[in-house]
Amino acid sequence: MYFLQRGLGLASLGFFIALMGAGPALGAGVVEIQHATGPLERYPSVEVKVLRGSLFLTSEDGQGTIVVTSAACAYQGKVIVCLPTSAAIVQGGSTHALDLRRGTIYLNYTKDPQSLARSSSKIPPNSVILAITTDIGTLVTARGTIDQVIQR
């Protein structure tokens, strides 16, 4: 298992970025935020990027971005599994750290669907699946095609 300071880095992101290029279509992700108090917010057409070691999920209107800036990552077969340790939301010109309780990120940088360990589920090619729970009980989930990867 690898721990990365500043970056979803994926066990030294530069190594993994060599495995893939830019994704096929922009805005192919969906983010859902289930607040502990009840309301569900759904954001379709989210842009998914891995830039210089961080995972960015940006709303279609560009007004909000969730950024995962560090995680412990390891391979499970051809899937990269990360446990995020630092994330923030950027909205309205300010950045607010998310107090993470737990979370998992699955990345498939291959051109083929990959099976998830101990599951009948598969992660599509060139895709990400994310689930994060904050200390106040907010659940953030996301899935989508990775639109862009930029090396360090």
pLDDT digit string, tens, across residues 6-46: 333 333 333 333 333 333 446 689 999 999 988 899 999 99
Q: For 10-24, 54-68, 87-101, 125-139, which range has the lowest pLDDT when averaged over its residues?
A: 10-24
The pLDDT of residue 14 is 30
Terminal CA-CA length for the chain: 21
- Compute the mean pLDDT over every residue in the chain, rounded to the nearest whole number: 83
* Mean pLDDT, rounded, for 90-114: 94
Contact 108, 114 (CB under 8 A): yes
The pLDDT of residue 38 is 87
- Look up the domain containing 56 and give its range: 2-150
Q: Is 20 helix (H, G, I), strand (E, B) or coil?
A: coil
Q: What is the pTM of this model?
A: 0.81
The number of folded domains in the chain is 1
**Residue 116 CA to its chain's centroid (Å):** 16
The pLDDT of residue 118 is 87
The pLDDT of residue 26 is 60
